[in-house]
Structure 1
């Protein structure tokens, strides 16, 4: 009986390359954030924290109110959202 021919070599699997590890291609351009972005992030986070703290110390007009607390949390969340996009 004749033995069935098996195919060896160049399969179409990407994980079977030299050493068995797939290395993704390097990107052509590297995205960079502007130099002023970390300073803006720090300022926004600081303003949000100050709004919350000054609300509780009764420094802001008509404080303590929930509106200053909500505004401080929203400003702080905006700074945090910007920080996640920093490269």
Structure 2
């Protein structure tokens, strides 16, 4: 078997493993995202009830979520002793 064919088989196998791993976690990630969406909708409703305009919410909320995501990834990186697997989430 040629070197190029072995390389293609390796890449195909890696892509297959990537897809299998994704599919095994996708349901859980979707479930958590649905819960986060429900919480966010409740939070936005509360903000509206307190008089916060939609334009202010739209300006600030995405930044707050981005900051929170970055903090969670950084904290987990430290907790797992510098494990860089999650690093690409922050990039």
TM-score bracket, shorter-length normalisation: 0.3 to 0.5
Greater fraction of residues in helix: 2
Larger RCO, structures 1/2 (Cα 8 Å, 6+ apart): 1
Q: TM-score, normalised by structure 1?
A: 0.35
Instruction: Find the structure with the greater CA-based Rg.
Output: 1
